[in-house]
Amino acid sequence: MRLEQIDTCLSEIDLGGMDAESDPELSDYFLTTKHVAATYKGKPYIFLGRKGSGKSSIFSQMPRLSLRHRPSAGILQLNPDVYAWKALKSYTEQGISAEHAHTNAWRFTIILELGLFLLDKQNEWSLEARRGLSKFREFVGADFSRNTSGSLKASSSVLRSLQSFNLGAFGFSVGASRAEMPSSELTPDITNAMLEALRDPLSESPTIVTFDRLDDTWDGSQDSRSLLIGLLKATKEINDRYRGRRGSEPELRIVSFLRTDIYDSLSFDDKDKHRPFEQQITWDEDSLRDLLSKRLPEGIEVDDLFEEGLMRGSVKPFDHILKRTFLRPREVLQFVNLCISTSDPNDFEISKENVREAENRFSSWKVDDLKQEYAKSEPSLPALVEALRQQVHRYDSLDEIIAALRARDNTLIDSLGERTALQILFDASVIGIRVSGAGATKFKATSPALALPASGVVYVHQGLNKGLNITETRRSRFDEAEDTEMEEDS
């Protein structure tokens, strides 16, 4: 059905907010993907995705969706603010590494916030659960106010003054304080005591603790890396402790949403032990089509928005759009919104010319956004991207693109190393590879596990071509058939 048939023009199409925080109606058209169920069931607890892939959308919808996926579980959502990051970063313990201290700090923070969350619940607790909560309440003190709204203010504000708590509530000597106990033992001992007090309450009220916006204060410093590593280690330790028996669901589960580029930049011992618990948030053409369709008027399909017919490469307009994104929801919505804004408000369809006009602006956005996205996790990427400006879209070999990069910034390539420079571009999906010049061009954006091959034909991502003023050359050798092939492959 076309828009004209329901007397609806393009100016009346509202695709909603571009991000979860600015979209109060997200629940009306939230698309439940395989990643959503995995947050409640299954073993993944590190959810990774590039910027705009939908991490915060899943996070924001978890309380509502828990009623369907796991109605017995409560959801404790945590968004560390600047205050919390500062307190956590500054936490130290004598005699242990910063990474170890940050792991202790996160473990303490998570369990304290969990206990406060359970204290707030109006459950009909059993006698055993009431005893545990009473012990926890005695520990934190009757006058202790949570007042955090998920920002971790309560727990982070006390990390440097644990002596203010009643440690005698957990069997430590009366009057025991941080100054009277070995610092390397204090926080783990308190955490274990808190967990024991919460054992019965958790058995009656299972809880999923979720972390989002962990990149808001990320600055790429060693302190930031140590803090995130500490969170990952603390999360694994707690999840291992509460892992349910086969076929059962755990009473406590900690889930984190983190940007892929930041996670990949972290290096620490035993990172391989976290691999089985990672879940990449990826999208394909069909799921993105479904996502857009849910935001359109009833009876209107995605292709109904566009002028009938095919664009260059023999693809429909929406498929043309998808090929110029990294297959992330936010950028698809941005591109389509741009198409609408470039059209006459009274039109009933987006013309192919509108799509081409929107592409010029969108591509410039993508170049800027990509450089900003990786500026802290991979500081050399912006310069590498700029080295491709006004060059060509296709290189016959890895050596050929290296030569082109050297021609623009030889010092940069020498400092990075040739293979590393290509790896950085490949990991960000700035370039894709067609092995042996045959088959599909592979980009890591659509295949996260993809490794950079040793050889192949190199293509710059189509979504960046206009923004970088890249030209298509060698027309005598690569004719219109190549354009069709690129549309189909990339």
Q: What angle do CA 33, 34, 40 make, to 5 degrees?
A: 105
Per-residue pLDDT tens for 25-56? 665 656 667 777 777 766 889 999 998 888 88
Predicted TM-score (pTM) of the model is 0.84
Q: Residue 371 and residue 355: Cα distance in Å, rounded?
A: 24
> Which of 56-60, 137-141, 208-212, 483-487 bottoms out in mean pLDDT, i.e. has the lowest?
483-487
Ramachandran region, residue 473 (left: φ > 0; alpha: ψ -120 to 50; beta: rest): beta
Q: Which amino acid is at 12?
A: E
Per-residue pLDDT tens for 404-428? 999 999 999 999 999 999 999 999 9
Per-residue pLDDT tens for 81-122? 776 787 788 777 777 888 988 998 899 889 988 998 998 888
pLDDT above 70 (res 272): yes
